[in-house]
Structure 1
Amino acid sequence: MTGFNPLDLALLALAAAGAGVINTIVGSGSLVTFPTLLLGVPAVPANMANTVGLAIGNVGGVLGYRRELRGQWRSLAPLIVLTVGVLGLTTADHLQRANAAKNVLQTIAGVVATVVFIIVAPLPWTAIVIIAVASLLGSGPGAMIGRRLPGWLLRTLIIAIGVIAVIALVR
């Protein structure tokens, strides 16, 4: 189901590791992995592989931010569709706690999508495994970097990545 050569697989692994860092810090790691997947997978299976692989990688972001998640578990359930930007605007919590919550919500949404995708369609498992492992490896350093960023820089990165995502979507 995939048309990757060894170089494409190596690029996918690098992109996924970068996405693990990016997703843990600000989200939008798909901006890196999805175009790379298109080197060897048609768009719809690429979207599914991206979602499933990064959902597994997001677990590392949750683990990396577990200290900031203390006391938040009960309030996370109704917030599944919110992103860190909305959390940052609507909560009095420190931005790092909102980012930790974002990582949990991102993981939950990815797991739900993964279950649906497994049921409804064949998946490109080679690509998924590469994304899952590499993004999981990237999420640890992502949490270490993200937790050290001052609030103003984290907010700036969130805005910049958001603008890049909007431009990529409307192009």
Structure 2
Amino acid sequence: MNSPAEYALVLLAGLGSGVLISTVGFASLLSFPVLLAVGLPPVVANVANTIGLTPAGLSGSFGYRRELREKPLVTTVVLVTCAGGAVLGVVLLLALPPGVFAAVVPYLILVTCLLVGAQPFVSGRLRRRDRGGGRLSAATTVACVLVGVYGGYFGGGSGVMMMAVLGFGADLEMRVVNALKTLSIAAGNVVASVLFVVIADVDWAAAGLLALGSAGGGYVGALIGRRLPATLLRVLVVLGGITAAVTMLG
């Protein structure tokens, strides 16, 4: 980055991405291309993107604090499983050759977002709805761990995967699922960011500007997200997932 215009662009990308994290997800569709456009190499851009979007997940989770308090047990399970899974995901990132998941990630995102869209129509056939007030089954808990692993390894689309897991595995309102999705992104990004700070080459100017914008955007996104009708939110998630998958395939 060499000009005030580029600094402003990264700051605005952080703001917009923060809003996306707390609403429909797929924030990196906005922030990552901007970081590349201002001249950061892909690996450095990925590190700055993860660190810079971490405040969005945290501020978004704070904005959704009322929803998270409604289901304290589920909130705790999501936080612990995603953070723990992200540790394993980061280990895999360091141990496996680059691009192991690159070929399948677009299809994984596409299938997952379509599951989010179809969930109201098929969930009654696929699971027993929990009327007992917020416990996750063992299978759903394992699925949360796997989403955490994916989030630590790659991250793109992990929030929507969490929405699909919770949509089929728990009887929760969409606004609560969205809150838990935001928390899961925050947990994974915190773990990855700590590691990146220790071992990676960080462009602190880019990461800092992105973080400054995303912190406000995450909170604003939570205010918007809790007011979005469930059907509209599902439609936006599906459209975002299709866009993400097509972009990656291109």
Normalising by the residue count of structure 2, what TM-score does the alignment of the two structures yield? Answer: 0.65
Shift of 1:102: 0.8
Whether the 8 Å CA contact 2:67–2:179 is kept in 1: the answer is yes
Aligned to 2:29: 31
Aligned to 2:170: 91
Aligned to 1:73: 75
Aligned to 1:42: 41
Q: Distance in 2 between matches of 1:91 and 1:11?
A: 40
Aligned to 2:189: 110
RMSD: 1.3
Aligned to 1:6: 4
Q: Deviations over 1:23-68 (max 9, x none)?
A: 1101111110000001221100000000011012211110011111
Whether the 8 Å CA contact 1:96–1:147 is kept in 2: the answer is yes
Aligned to 2:51: 52
Regions of 4+ moved over 6 Å: none
Instruction: Give me the identity figure in percent.
Output: 39
Aligned to 1:122: 201
Aligned to 2:84: none
Q: 1:8 is paired with a residue of what secondary structure?
A: helix
- More deviation, 79-88/115-124: 79-88
Matches within 5 A, 1:12-27: 12-27=10-25
Aligned to 2:179: 100
Letter in 2 for 1:75: V
Q: Which has the larger radius of gyration?
A: 2
Q: 2:201 is paired with a residue of what secondary structure?
A: coil
Structure 2: runs of 5 or more not aligned: 82-143, 148-160
Q: Deviations over 1:79-109 (max 9, x none)?
A: 2525223322322111111111111110010
Whether the 8 Å CA contact 1:57–1:131 is kept in 2: the answer is no
Q: Distance in 1 between matches of 2:59 and 2:185?
A: 12
Q: 1:83 is paired with a residue of what secondary structure?
A: helix
Aligned to 2:156: none
Structure 1: runs of 5 or more not aligned: none
- More deviation, 86-95/28-37: 86-95
Whether the 8 Å CA contact 2:47–2:202 is kept in 1: the answer is yes
Q: 1:113 is paired with a residue of what secondary structure?
A: helix
